[in-house]
Amino acid sequence: MEKKLNKLIKKWEGRRGNLVMIFHEIQNSYGYVPREVSMKLSRMLDVPLATIYEVLTFYNYFKLDPPGKYTISICMGTACYLKGAGRVLKEFKNILNIQEDETTEDGIFQLNTVRCLGCCGLAPAITVDGKVYGKVTKSQVADIISEYMDKESSGE
């Protein structure tokens, strides 16, 4: 880890906004910014940990918790919203027992909302790890979750 961080520090050294760019690369690598990486970076750059977390928490892009194995993205754009995306979101929250931007305790599902998936003709639309589901209704949510739970139990 230290070698990787040294390389990133060197790459962005002396550049404006270097801390943000380093965090982007860390998140792209891990899927989030692990606490131990933040602490190590704080020591290596001689930047207070509070400053590190000020940057990380200021930008919504950065995640402090590991992502779920399957990312569910629910479109809340105008077309999807008007066609019932709110009801679909509520059903995912109820079944998975999590809120938006959270991951289930078992680490299998992460629930996100997005502004637009570009599938307005399929409203309301969701994706699970990039697979698009269109014209989703509240009654289909349990089946969508089951599809991925079946994958888990079969070891896929």
**Mean pLDDT score of the chain:** 93
**Residue that is written with structure tokens 């997005």 in the block:** 114
What the chain holds in terms of domains, given with CATH numbers, is 2-58 (no CATH), 70-154 (3.40.30.10)
Distance CA 111, CA 76 (A): 13
Report CA torsion sign: 24, 29, 35, 39: negative
Residues 36-88 pLDDT 10s: 999 999 999 899 999 999 999 998 889 898 889 999 999 999 999 999 999 99
pLDDT tens digits for range 91-105: 999 999 999 989 999
